[in-house]
Structure 1
C-alpha cells in the first residue's frame, strides 16, 4: 500500500472511532439525564431505570439534542426550568465524556 492509502485508512478509522465515541457519550448523557429527571419526579429503582431508557429512546426522533430537551421539558413541567434542564444537559455531557475516557 502507498503512504496515501495508509493515511486514508487511518483517517477513516479515526473518524469511525470519533463518531462511535460521540454516540456513546450522547447515550450515556441521556441515561444520566433520565436518572436525574426520574429523581426529580420522585421515581427510583426500576421506574427510574425505565424512565432513563425512555429518555435514551427519545434521542432517536431527530438529529441533535432538542428531542431530548423537549421530552424532559414536558415531563418535568413545573419541576425544572428550561435553563435548569439545559444546564443539566451540559453537566451530564461533560460527566458522560469523563466516564467514557476513564473506561478506556
Structure 2
C-alpha cells in the first residue's frame, strides 16, 4: 500500500467520523430542544423524555431541520414562534456538540 493510499484511507475514516459526530450532535440538539419545549408544555420526567424522542424522530421526515421547527411550533402554538425555535436550536447546538465530545473523550 502506498503512502497516498494510506492518506486516502485516513481521510475517508476522518470524514466518516466527522459525519457521525455531526449526526449525533444534531440528534442531541433536537433532544435538548424537545426537553425545552416539553418544559414549556408543562411536561416533566418521563413525559418530557418521551416528547423529546418525538422531536428527534421528527428530524427524519425530510432533509434539513424545518421538519423539527414545524413540529415543535405546532405543538407549542402560541408559546414560541418558529423564529424563537430556530434561535433556540442555534443556542443548543454548541451545547449538544460539547456533550457529545465529552462523552467520546
- The TM-score, its normalising length taken from structure 1, stands at 0.96
Q: Does 1:16 align with 2:40?
A: no
Pairwise CA RMSD? 0.8
Contact preservation (8 Å) 2:35, 2:49 = yes
Following superposition of structure 1 onto structure 2, how do residues 25-104 of structure 1 map, counting pairs within 5 Å?
A: 25-103=25-103, 104=105
The runs of at least 4 aligned residues of structure 1 exceeding 3 Å deviation read none
Contact preservation (8 Å) 2:33, 2:52 = yes
1:102 CA displacement: 2.0
1:83 CA displacement: 2.1
Query: C-alpha distance in 1, partners of 2:12/2:82?
Result: 38
1:100 CA displacement: 1.5
> How many pairs does the alignment contain?
104
Unaligned regions of 5+ residues in structure 2, if any? none
- The TM-score, its normalising length taken from structure 2, stands at 0.95
Query: C-alpha distance in 1, partners of 2:42/2:31?
Result: 16
